[in-house]
A and B are shown apart, each in its own frame.
Chain A
């Protein structure tokens, strides 16, 4: 009886055709994602194509050779990879603790009224153009380091290979510090967002159980967002590896592999920026494109590693 009543009712037909708006949205969003992928592949392809001359001439020996000679036409990336690695490592070493501390301060410790202004000021640091930072680096920070900081480090810690050498107003140390200043705003604003996103029940529960503020942060907040912090650090690393202008102004340009933080060195990005225009021979242009390929591979590798680490952390968190 009831079924007949249902079938007798003239129910409005449900639309089974998709909305035109849905289709359009899918198409546009899909196209945007596809465009990004295409641009990435095209960039990688074109750069490798330009570098092919050097890749076929030098092969993988390019990575271990420290020659860079436009007269004999011999090129090698070892000193530059070393410079990139050292500057990025120390920039992260200085920037990550500072950024996590700033994130914790702004999300947990600062008086509520202070959070807005201080947060805005930290983010303002990111608005400084890199060329301005580089200029400040050579005009202000470099001479300051040479006159006061480096002699102090050499006198008291000169036995550590890092602090051996003679004071100079350019070199690895000014470049590392400039990179630190560039990385801190990015990583700290991400950290702050992450700490803000920790569920307040977790924080409150921990405090209610009697933990101190620091124990709560160390035991609850930081582990909860550790995946995000790794991602933020890798973002900072990518910024540090790719920075060309500010580094080229403060680092001095004479590539070398050595432990001392004082004295000229060079990085991949800075060498590309300095020498791309006006390369003396075709092989030099191709070698510079080879440097760009190496930089691309390093950046993509760093991002992939970050994705893997984040996934593993998430899996562990989910399993708990």
Chain B
């Protein structure tokens, strides 16, 4: 009996070793086969991750591009910060961010291009019982709310901007993005530009150190948080206002006008700022007073792609589609089409991908 058991154990052990060897070598050959296939079968897939602002637009591109070019785009809306992380690790084929790469991030990404591929905006939203839509606010007032200097909705500063509106004494609860967010970058850049207090205490970043309020993850989290908290003020990407039925605040621009966040307002901002920064980014926040109809929290959103990629051909085709045919889906979601100057400079950038 013992001999039987021992030989059974030996056979089992030997079998496991053989199986492991077979799997190992079989796995090896399978990977080479897959690697071979990668150039044909899975090259029909492009993966991307990043900005939640551009996500509604990308999700329109996915089915359309699949029919037009037969390539499946898989996009994960994890936030601009996450998108930069993923493309730096080359875990995806392209990243998307509303915030341009910082110096540290550009070094870490090792030769990444940032290509503006859509125009959008961040909108200030609020939820106060009894207060109607389209409240008038200014940058400095919003900055004070996020610094904790204005604590209730019937503060004289807010009342002065909205003489006809009866404001309750509800406590102001600022909601901000807790993850690395391009919308945070746009929002904090704008407030830093118009409020020196905000600039020194908080500053512009994808993760600004807000000292008061509640954090929520992603645009959807902020929208949910604002809707469930009476007295909340927050900031979301423009598509989420219509999609979730949120209130929008009209922010006074440099020309003194209260501009509705809309395709026209964003387009006016894009027309006013045409020079790119050395790193290829075009900041649209707080456009000059000469642009009277400009919405002050507009932004380009960028595709972050490596200069050299194994899927260069598919990437170039997709990016070209995005800046040309893809722009047609934009206006319904609040994204105006890219200016032609930006499209042509983008095409030059795209051509340099190899």
Contacts and interface: CB of A to CB of B under 8 A. Distances in A.
Interface of A: 19-21, 24, 67-72, 138-139, 143, 166, 168-170, 248, 252-254, 264, 274-275, 277-282, 284
B341 to A, nearest CB: 30
A284 B205 CA distance: 12
B4 to A, nearest CB: 12
Contact of A70 (B208, B214, B216): B208
B207 A253 contact: no
B144 interface: no
A280 B85 contact: no
A71 B104 contact: no
B40 interface: no
Given A277-B79, A280-B180, A166 B171 contact: yes
Given A253-B215, A264-B214, A277 B6 contact: no
A65 to B, nearest CB: 13
Contacts of B5: 21
Nearest to B174: A254
B215 A71 contact: no
B326 interface: no
A71 B214 contact: no
A254 B209 CA distance: 9
Contacts of A20: 6, 9
A271 to B, nearest CB: 9
Given A19-B2, A70-B205, A253-B215, 16 more contacts: A68-B209, A70-B208, A71-B208, A169-B228, A253-B178, A264-B213, A274-B178, A277-B82, A278-B81, A278-B84, A279-B180, A280-B104, A280-B105, A280-B180, A280-B206, A281-B104
Contacts of A69: 203, 209
B80 interface: yes
Contacts of A67: 209
Interface of B: 2, 5-6, 9, 78-85, 102, 104-105, 108, 171, 173, 178-181, 202-217, 225, 228-229
Contacts of A248: 178, 217
A297 B181 CA distance: 31
A188 B205 CA distance: 46
A25 to B, nearest CB: 11
Contact of B81 (A138, A168, A277): A277
Which of B179, B214, B216 has the most A CB atoms < 10 Å from its CB?
B214
A170 B224 CA distance: 13
Which of B78, B208, B210, B215 has the most A CB atoms < 10 Å from its CB?
B215
B207 A275 contact: yes
A272 B206 CA distance: 16
Given A21-B9, A68-B209, A138-B228, A275 B214 contact: no
A71 B204 contact: yes
5 contacts: A21-B6, A70-B207, A253-B216, A254-B211, A279-B207
A280 B213 CA distance: 21
A282 B205 CA distance: 14
Nearest to A253: B215
Given A20-B6, A24-B9, A70-B207, A275 B104 contact: no
Nearest to B221: A249
A308 to B, nearest CB: 38
A280 B81 contact: yes
B178 A275 contact: yes
Given A71-B208, A71-B209, A278 B228 contact: no
A71 B102 CA distance: 11
A20 B11 CA distance: 14
A281 B207 CA distance: 10
A31 to B, nearest CB: 14
A268 to B, nearest CB: 15
A278 B79 contact: yes
Contact of B179 (A19, A24, A170, A275): A275
A154 to B, nearest CB: 13
Given A275-B180, A277-B85, A252 B215 contact: yes
B223 to A, nearest CB: 13
Contacts of A252: 213-215
Contacts of A279: 81, 85, 180, 207
Nearest to A256: B211
A269 to B, nearest CB: 14
A280 B207 contact: yes
A282 B103 CA distance: 11
A280 B205 contact: yes
Contacts of A68: 209
Contacts of A275: 178-180, 207
A77 to B, nearest CB: 14
B116 to A, nearest CB: 20
A71 B198 CA distance: 12
Contacts of B208: 70-71
Nearest to B97: A278
A129 to B, nearest CB: 17
A139 B215 contact: no
